[in-house]
């Protein structure tokens, strides 16, 4: 253990890592690795130590190792976590069980297939559709700080998918649009520059959209960026309900889509 | 997903408890309707209230309904977002206003009950 000798630790921690190599085995297995323990190590450091020093065949995704890229999400002792933010000192001396994110198909070891989530982002049009296109010469689309504040929290999403792995509704029915995609749809619906609320409505204000959510609230608990997807969904339910009553009671009235 | 999924995580379990307490909210509403139907019959009214089974059910229903109310009120700031310019009205304040309204309604009901005793 070169790293432990260099840094001088005699403590170790055991990781029980989910392994699935489709060309070798039908069923997933768990493999135990003993790695050196350091106060400042996160689970991702331990996994990288395994990959570099013990077993180069272990496969997992990671990139920024600072909670920004959203690619190192895994189940740590059954809870969805960014492994770059999960300190092993919080688990030590217990064994740490590392598994791929819940409710997604596993491609290999800790790598999941995120195709379903990417499709959902496209379905909800998780991007800005300007109310009116204007040439660059007319300058930028301006916004007041108060208008920015309306959606800023929801714009912090890093697409790490921890919220999907926390959501029992998504676990039961993968057609559910899910926490992050709905929060991002809200992010653009609430943006004063955006004009596609009506286009998103069919997907978002449907059964597979907001109405399938039973408000377990675990998505908000696990979110590493405090996006509060559960709040976004409940707020969308209120706007959709208000909008429906408005269309029934004042059918001749002009609907203010931005008030959603 | 296995049917015992809600036993696997504390937050799932607490969600299920919250959802199950709504049965007691609905049940108590039903009980009040039965009471209301006996409003012209003073003996039947007090007999129902004094029935041992009804007392046991009330004792079980009270903590359930209280739990349901508290979890419900605690969630209100997630749903109700009020903006004052660039800042959100504090979630604690929104919940506090609801608790205060609950308190006021309870005091009014207690006052009405004491009037007719």
Residues of A with CB under 8 A from a CB of B: 78-79, 145-146, 148-150, 168, 171-172, 214-218, 220-221, 228, 230-231, 234-235, 237-238
**How high is the pLDDT of residue B10?**
93
CA distance A174 to chain B (A): 11
- Strand-pairing partners, residue A13, are A35
Report residue B59: phi and psi, to 5°: -65, -35
**How high is the pLDDT of residue A1?**
46
Q: What is the pLDDT of residues B49-83, one digit of tens each?
A: 999 999 999 999 999 999 999 999 999 999 999 99
Confidence class of residue B117 from pLDDT cuts 50, 70 and 90? confident
Residue bearing the bigger pLDDT, B39 or A107: A107
CA distance A123 to chain B (A): 24
Query: For the complex shown, is ipTM > 0.90?
Result: no
**How high is the pLDDT of residue A255?**
59
> Taking Cα atoms as reference points, which of A146, A172, A136, A165 lies closest to residue A224?
A165
Distance between CA atoms of residues B109 and B106, nearest Å = 5
**How high is the pLDDT of residue A252?**
81
CA distance B77 to chain A (A): 9
Coil, helix or strand at residue A167? coil
Q: Check B85 against A146: CB less than 8 A apart.
A: yes
Q: CA angle, corner A242, sides to A240 and A246, nearest 5?
A: 115
Report residue B113: phi and psi, to 5°: -60, -45
CA distance A259 to chain B (A): 12
> Taking Cα atoms as reference points, which of A46, A45, A92 lies closest to residue A66?
A45
> Taking Cα atoms as reference points, which of A61, A91, A67, A59 lies closest to residue A78?
A91
Mean pLDDT of B22-44: 92
The full DSSP string for A45-83 is HHHHHIIIII-TT-----S-SSSSS---EEEETTEEEEG
> From residue A108, how far is each of A22, A29, B36 by CA, in Å?
7, 12, 63
Nearest CB to B5; choose among A150, A171, A221: A171
* Listed range (A87-101, B35-49, B102-116) with the worst mean pLDDT: B35-49
Distance between CA atoms of residues A246 and A260, nearest Å = 11
Instruction: Tell me the average confidence (pLDDT) per consecutive run of 10 residues in chain A, 260 residues long.
Output: 58 97 96 96 98 97 96 97 97 96 97 97 96 91 94 97 97 97 97 94 93 96 97 95 90 61
**How high is the pLDDT of residue A7?**
60
Closest-approach residue (CA) in chain B for A146? B86
Query: CB distance from B13 to chain A under 8 Å?
Result: no
Query: CB distance from B85 to chain A under 8 Å?
Result: yes
Residue bearing the bigger pLDDT, B117 or A213: A213
A145-150 contacts: CB < 8 A, separation 24 or more? A145/B86, A146/B83, A146/B85, A146/B86, A147/A191, A147/A192, A148/B86, A149/B83, A149/B86, A149/B87, A149/B88, A150/A190, A150/A191, A150/A192, A150/B83
- Strand-pairing partners, residue B111, are none
Closest-approach residue (CA) in chain A for B3? A172
Query: CB distance from B41 to chain A under 8 Å?
Result: no
**How high is the pLDDT of residue A50?**
98
> From residue A259, how far is each of A59, A133, A206, A227, A238 by CA, in Å?
46, 22, 19, 20, 11
Distance between CA atoms of residues A219 and A179, nearest Å = 7
**How high is the pLDDT of residue A225?**
97
Q: What is the mean pLDDT of chain B?
A: 93
Closest-approach residue (CA) in chain A for B82? A150
Domains, chain A, with CATH or none: 8-112 (3.10.20.30), 115-259 (1.10.1060.10)
Contacts of A231 in chain B (CB under 8 A): 78-79, 81
Confidence class of residue B11 from pLDDT cuts 50, 70 and 90? very high
Nearest CB to B79; choose among A79, A150, A234: A234
Region at A44 (left for phi over 0; alpha for psi -120 to 50; beta for the rest): alpha
Token pair for residue A111? 């790598």
Closest-approach residue (CA) in chain B for A172? B1
Contacts of B81 in chain A (CB under 8 A): 231, 235
Contacts of A228 in chain B (CB under 8 A): 78
CA distance B13 to chain A (A): 10
Report residue A32: phi and psi, to 5°: -95, 135
- Whole-structure pTM value: 0.90
**How high is the pLDDT of residue A259?**
46
Sign of CA dihedral A3, A8, A10, A12: negative
User: In the sheet where A96-99 sits, what is the strand order?
Assistant: A29-36, A12-19, A96-99, A73-76, A79-82
**How high is the pLDDT of residue A260?**
42
């Amino acid at each position: 253990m070169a790293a432990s000798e260099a840094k001088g630790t005699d403590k170790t921690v055991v990781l029980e890592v989910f392994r699935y190599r489709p060309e070798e085995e039908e069923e997933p297995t768990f493999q135990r690795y003993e790695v050196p323990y350091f106060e400042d190590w996160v689970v991702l450091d331990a996994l990288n130590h395994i990959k570099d020093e013990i077993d180069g065949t272990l496969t997992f995704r990671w990139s920024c190792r600072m909670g920004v890229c959203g690619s190192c999400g895994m189940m740590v002792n059954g809870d969805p976590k960014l492994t770059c933010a999960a300190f092993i000192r919080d688990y030590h001396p217990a064994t740490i069980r590392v598994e791929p994110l819940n409710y997604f198909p596993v491609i290999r070891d800790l790598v999941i297939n995120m195709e379903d989530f990417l499709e959902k982002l496209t379905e909800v049009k998780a991007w800005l559709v300007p109310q009116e296109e204007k040439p660059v010469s007319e300058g930028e689309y301006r916004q007041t700080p108060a208008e920015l504040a309306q959606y800023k929290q929801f714009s912090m999403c890093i697409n790490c998918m921890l919220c999907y792995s926390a959501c029992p509704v998504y676990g039961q029915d993968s057609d559910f649009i899910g926490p992050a995609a709905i929060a991002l749809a809200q992010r653009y619906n609430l943006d004063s520059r955006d004009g596609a609320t009506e286009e998103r409505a069919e997907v978002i204000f449907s059964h597979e959209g907001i109405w399938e959510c039973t408000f377990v609230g675990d998505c908000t608990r696990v979110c590493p960026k405090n996006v509060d997807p559960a709040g976004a969904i409940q707020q969308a339910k209120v706007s959709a309900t208000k909008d429906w009553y408005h269309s029934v009671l004042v059918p001749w009235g002009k609907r203010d889509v931005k008030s959603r | 997903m296995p049917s015992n999924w809600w036993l696997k995580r504390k937050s799932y379990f607490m969600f299920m408890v919250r959802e199950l307490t709504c049965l007691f909210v609905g049940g108590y509403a039903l009980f009040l309707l039965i009471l209301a139907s006996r409003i012209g019959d003073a003996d039947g009214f007090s007999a129902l209230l004094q029935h041992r089974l009804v007392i046991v059910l009330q004792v079980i229903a009270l903590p359930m309904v209280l739990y349901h109310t508290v979890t419900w009120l605690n969630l209100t700031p997630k749903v109700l977002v009020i903006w004052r310019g660039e800042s959100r009205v504090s979630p604690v304040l929104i919940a506090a206003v609801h608790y205060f309204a609950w308190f006021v309604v309870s005091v009014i009901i207690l006052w009405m009950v004491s009037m007719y005793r």
